[in-house]
Amino acid sequence: MLCRLSPRSSSLTTTRSFLIFSSMSSYSSTSTLASTHGRSPKPRTKSRTLSIDNIRPAVLKVEYAVRGAVPQKATHYEGVLKAGKGDHLPFTKIVNANIGNPQQKGLDQKPITWWRQIAALLEYPDLITNPLAPQLFPPDVLERATELHKEVGSVGAYTGSKGLDNVRQHVADWLEARDGFPADPENIYLTAGASAGVNLIMNVIVRPGDGVLIPIPQYPLYTATLASQEAIPLNYYLNEEENWSYDEKSVLAAIAKAKKDQTPVKALVVINPGNPTGNCLSQDDMRAIIRLCHEHDILLLADEVYQANVFDPINKPFHSFKKVLSSMGAPFHDEVHLVSFHSISKGYSGECGRRGGFFEMVNIVDSVMDQIYKISSVGLCPPLSGQVGVDCLVRPPKEGGESYPRWLEETEGIKNALRDRSLYMQERFNKLEGVSCQEAEGAMYLFPRLHLPKKAILAAEADGKTPDAFYCLALLDATGICLVPGDGFGQKDGEVHFRTTALSPGVEEYVSGIETFHKSFMDQYRD
């Protein structure tokens, strides 16, 4: 059960949860962060050397909603429950629907067997030649592990700053097969997840005061990175009524405002499939974006980490920006600058903690590429276990091989379950009073809009919170379900949203918990 339902009305349960939250009003952000890092807050003497007043000011402006106040409070509750001190709470577990982390405890997506068998053999390569190995591992796994061991050596060693040459060649081969256009391994960097690639590129190309066009809603990695670099996010809004579609008028308005403010427009970020919205761009929209980048001399940053998570691949398949750009011809294909990002954390693999990803650069001049290499060298190299994961992504078992049937069953099962849960949740959310939820076409999230009563808005203001945070904290207090307030991803003024993943295996119980809470919340604050 997600929550202990009282024999009294559900509204009383909700009220009780609000009282719990009120009694924790002294639970400060400082103690939350401290408990998150596994230590108790301690009073500290004033430091002459380092204080909050003399660290880099840009750091104070960085916010990252998926690990913000609501998830931090959920972490506190987890500690209370783990310590056996949660009898006063109206729930027995925390459901972490705040972050796309498929293999986390409680969601428990099973790792792909092919990946873990190869990883196990490379972690302890003596197993490859052990006489019992043929009884434990399929022949194609042993063959691949033997090949990789010759290339990799020990996974405890450094590699080149771009990553292993052979793995980058395998990525290039995969990209060429995906797109039908050549890919140069020298333009490919292996990274510690897509986030590390984004940070690297932003660190090189963005100067303080530069502007970067960001889709709203957006994944908060981008605004957080820009804040740390003292750059300016230039918001362009997706069209919610048209299933979060691309709105070029909004982009042009953002560019016009930037020019009026004398803000240099350096790049445009596109997330496709979308996070948190789940929208998938049409080829027409992709071509329009490329033409716009060409006209305004803007770098295109394509976040494509959810490309394997497309719910209707027959009627609306994924197309990469590299493929669309390369097919457009002159002057676009050789003049528009593009960096595209991918990751093993998403898709069907969910290997978030392995930290593997890559980016490919297109039409980037040599002098800039030299600087990218220099900055990447400061970090020495991406994790080797993540590089092995990238190789597993781009070189799955061959059809006809011993591991292929199991790999196909596992990957298709994960992708189909994700699609089915998303559709189920969207349908149920749209039946709730004051909730509208666009159907996701891909990725692993939904971004429902809440139309809250005025009394709820005023109550949030009185409590010093945004309506989004007020609602999500109340939901957490009542049910143990952790969502992310929509304002952490950006939205139009006056709107209220939340983001949820579609990863919870007990989706019916999960949605029922939200429904029960939502009805009580609306009754409590009905105008």
> What residue spans define the domains of the chain?
10-37+54-109+413-524, 158-394
For the segment 335-353, what is each residue's pLDDT rounded down to a tens digit? 999 999 999 888 787 777 7
Q: Which CATH architecture has domain 158-394?
A: 3-Layer(aba) Sandwich (3.40)
Rounded CA-CA distance 464/478 in Å is: 20
Q: Kindly give the residue spans of alpha helices, DSSP state H, lying in 103-217.
A: 113-123, 133-136, 139-152, 165-179, 193-205
Q: Which helix (H) or strand (E) covers residue 384, if one does?
A: helix 384-394
**Average pLDDT of 398-420?**
91
More confident residue, 238 or 108: 238
For the segment 35-63, what is each residue's pLDDT rounded down to a tens digit? 444 444 455 555 567 666 766 666 666 66
More confident residue, 188 or 105: 188
Rounded CA-CA distance 175/393 in Å is: 12
> Partners of 449 in the beta sheet?
436, 497
Under 8 Å between Cβ of 257 and 401: no
The structure tokens 């009580």 sit at: 520
Q: Inform me whether the pLDDT recorded for 3 exceeds 50.
A: no
**Average pLDDT of 264-290?**
93
CATH hierarchy code of domain 10-37+54-109+413-524: 3.90.1150.10
Residue 105: predicted pLDDT: 67
Q: Inform me whether the pLDDT recorded for 17 exceeds 50.
A: no
The structure tokens 């992708």 sit at: 415
pLDDT confidence band for 158 (50 / 70 / 90): confident
Q: Inform me whether the pLDDT recorded for 287 exceeds 50.
A: yes
Q: Inform me whether the pLDDT recorded for 465 exceeds 70.
A: yes
The structure tokens 């990751």 sit at: 343
Q: Structure tokens of 520?
A: 């009580």
